[in-house]
């Protein structure tokens, strides 16, 4: 298969598997989405979805959040990990949203990445899921599968994002990034990987990846 044929195969297969694409993080509006995505860094969506209801019961707007202390926020979000940094970020960005953005979540990379604890990936997820702006946020699942499928060299997420945007049509980015995440969790995990279930990698996977898999199975 040519690379373009592989790209077309991935798009078609994921569309068949995930015609309806659930959003992994529970939220009610743009602000709660931003907070949930921030909390998901180096954590799991399941854990974040367990904690955000507790946090949002106390504060679900920037106005309410700045009334809490950083320590109060940290006590609530501690189970998601990195709570000292995340609690300062949540409190700090809430204050900045009120001071600079009328309490609204901004719609540009530049403004989002100026917020405390908001990096490129968090900004990209918010732009895609809140505002339907084409982005291609790269998490560990996408990074792993883009390498397994031979679409990137896998050296870093910056290169993986660049390669994904080059290969896939822009109008597919927002759906694909979620579809690949779900596919990675269900069919192509980092641990306990069963190639027989991983229909995409089995058909188009990088030869060195497939050879290494079969070598370990012997």
Domain at 30-131, CATH from 1.10.340.30, 3.40.30.10, 3.30.750.24, 1.20.1540.10: 1.10.340.30
Q: What is the pLDDT of residue 129?
A: 95
Q: Map out the domains of the chain as residue ranges.
A: 3-20+137-217, 30-131
Q: What is the pLDDT of residue 156?
A: 92
121 is catalytic: yes
pLDDT tens, residue by residue, 101-120:
999 999 999 999 999 999 99
Q: What is the pLDDT of residue 145?
A: 97
Q: What is the pLDDT of residue 217?
A: 80
Architecture of domain 3-20+137-217: Orthogonal Bundle (1.10)
What 194-201 contacts at long range (C-beta under 8 Å, 24+ apart), as own/partner pairs, is 199/13, 200/9, 200/10, 200/13, 200/14, 200/145, 200/149, 201/145, 201/148, 201/149
pLDDT tens, residue by residue, 186-216:
999 999 999 999 999 999 999 999 999 998 8
DSSP 3-state percent helix, strand, coil across the chain (nearest 5): 65, 0, 35
139 is catalytic: yes
Q: What is the pLDDT of residue 192?
A: 92
Question: Is the pLDDT reported for residue 169 higher than 90?
Answer: yes
Catalytic pick among 88, 121, 165, 202: 121
Question: Is the pLDDT reported for residue 166 higher than 90?
Answer: yes
Catalytic pick among 86, 139, 163, 198: 139
Domains 3-20+137-217 and 30-131 share a fold: no
């Amino acid at each position: 298969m040519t690379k373009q044929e592989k790209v077309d195969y991935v798009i078609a297969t994921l569309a068949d598997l995930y015609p309806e694409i659930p959003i992994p993080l529970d939220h009610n509006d743009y602000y709660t989405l931003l907070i949930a995505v921030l909390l998901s860094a180096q954590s799991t969506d399941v854990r974040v979805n367990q904690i955000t209801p507790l946090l949002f019961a106390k504060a679900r707007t920037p106005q309410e959040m700045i009334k809490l202390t950083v320590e109060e926020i940290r006590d609530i979000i501690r189970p998601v990990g990195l709570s000292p940094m995340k609690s300062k970020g949540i409190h700090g960005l809430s204050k900045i949203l009120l001071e600079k953005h009328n309490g609204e979540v901004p719609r540009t990379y530049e403004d989002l990445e100026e917020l405390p604890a908001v990096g490129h990936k968090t900004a990209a997820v918010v732009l895609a899921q809140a505002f339907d702006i084409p982005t291609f946020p790269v998490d560990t699942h996408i990074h792993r599968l883009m390498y397994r499928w031979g679409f990137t060299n896998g050296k870093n997420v910056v290169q993986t994002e660049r390669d994904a945007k080059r290969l896939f049509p822009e109008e597919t980015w927002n759906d694909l990034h979620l579809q690949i995440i779900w596919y990675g969790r269900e069919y192509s995990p980092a641990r306990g990987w069963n190639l027989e279930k991983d229909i995409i990698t089995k058909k188009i996977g990088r030869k060195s990846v497939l050879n290494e898999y079969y070598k370990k199975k012997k």
